[in-house]
Amino acid sequence: MSPLQSNNSTTSSTTTDCETSNCCSTVSTDNSATNGTANNGIDSDIDTACYNWEKLADSVLAGHAITYAEGEAILGAPDNQLLSILAASYKIRHRYFANTIQLYFLMNAKSGLCPEDCSYCSQSKISKAPIEKYNLLNREKIMAGAQEAVDRQSKTYCIVISARGPSEREIQAIEKMVPEIKEKHDLHICTSLGLLTDEQAIRLKACGVDRVNHNLNTGPTHYEKICTTHTFEDRINTLHSVRKAGMEICSGGIIGMGETTTDLVEMALKLRELEAESIPINFLNAIDGTPLEKQDDLSPSYCLKALALFRFANPSREIRISGGREIHLRSLQPLGLYPANSMFVGDYLTTDGQLPEQDYQMIKDLGFQITKNETYEV
């Protein structure tokens, strides 16, 4: 019996309240209960049996690794179970991070000019989005970004370039700037430079880079539908190079690109297999001029269930609410910080974020605290 299921013999036949410890229902494939995709990947005949989300959380905390079926059940649960799912995911989050929030600041150090054809990206070669395009920023601007990260109470400064992979000139620039940043500021450094070789990863580690971001973006089956110029396996290989070099892995994905729930569960469990230390979860911002500009099938409740999925699948890992939260979570943004323990503060690569002051107020209103610690010891 799955930890998700309660023993029917112990359940009163008169119990009907979905917020009680045992909740019997069937996973719905109706758009209102999922992400609005016609084929959401859940078999309409799957019976959710009697779910006990808190029991599943306790099992995860005891070492249970959630199954594919349990992952799909989280995504397919009816909305009247949402608060129970969030409470259970918060129980896991609290074990490792208590009520702390880690902030990240993002610097788009090279914009546009990318030869890849990622269909979600405004910087790709096939995008017609009217974005600013420029080569690698100079030292002064990147150093100023580091100071801004400090001013915004960030734990990590993320330096991002648009590229298939870094040029020798770009690697050398990173090698010069990272030691200077770390000497001046108490910041972790994360770089996102595209596909990496073993040798490039070793050089990044040697100059002081703590973590490399390279998102899986979606599950392996769906990947070829969003990009044809490189493969899912290319991304996996880069993450293996990062790990072999001794750096932490930052890798997550984008929800809302037409993927099925099975694709999303596959990504969550693949990140568990990779033991990614940090998992940024984006919600598709369908930017005009990109192939996915008309893609719009997310609801706030589904986005919250997705965040809970990643917490259940990766209990001790940093889960970060990233791009698109303002658009898709909307007034429910604070609830996202019950499964997640991290967020970007400020703007994203080519889109605007919420004002930092609004984020600080949201964190304060929740009774949470900004921290630079990696974990919270119970």
Report how far apart, in Å, the C-alpha atoms of 335 and of each of 162, 330, 338, 348 are: 32, 10, 6, 21
Q: Kindly report the length of the chain.
A: 378
Active-site annotation holder among 23, 158, 227, 303: 158
Active-site annotation holder among 121, 227, 272, 325: 121
Beta-strand ranges (E) seen in the chain are 23-26, 47-51, 100-110, 156-161, 188-192, 211-213, 248-250, 253-255, 278-283, 318-321, 342-344, 369-370
Active-site annotation holder among 114, 303, 317, 325: 114
Active-site annotation holder among 23, 50, 93, 118: 118
State the virtual CA torsion across 194, 200, 206, 209 in degrees, nearest 10: 0
Verify whether residue 190 is a known catalytic residue.
yes
Verify whether residue 207 is a known catalytic residue.
no
Tell the burial category of 224 from Cβ atoms under 10 Å away from its Cβ (0-12, 13-18, 19+): exposed
Tell the burial category of 132 from Cβ atoms under 10 Å away from its Cβ (0-12, 13-18, 19+): exposed
Active-site annotation holder among 23, 50, 152, 190: 190
Active-site annotation holder among 50, 227, 250, 303: 250
Verify whether residue 320 is a known catalytic residue.
yes
| CA separation for the pair 13, 138 (Å, rounded) | 69
Phi and psi at residue 49, to the nearest 5°: 55, -140
Asked if 163 and 114 count as a contact pair (C-beta separation under 8 A), the reply is: yes
Verify whether residue 18 is a known catalytic residue.
no
Parallel, antiparallel, or unpaired for β 369-370 and 100-110? parallel
Active-site annotation holder among 152, 211, 317, 320: 320
- Output the six-digit token pair for 279: 């998992």
C-beta pairs of 171-174 under 8 Å, 24+ apart in sequence: 171/200, 171/203, 171/204, 173/136, 173/139, 174/204, 174/207, 174/209
List the catalytic residues: 114, 118, 121, 158, 190, 250, 320
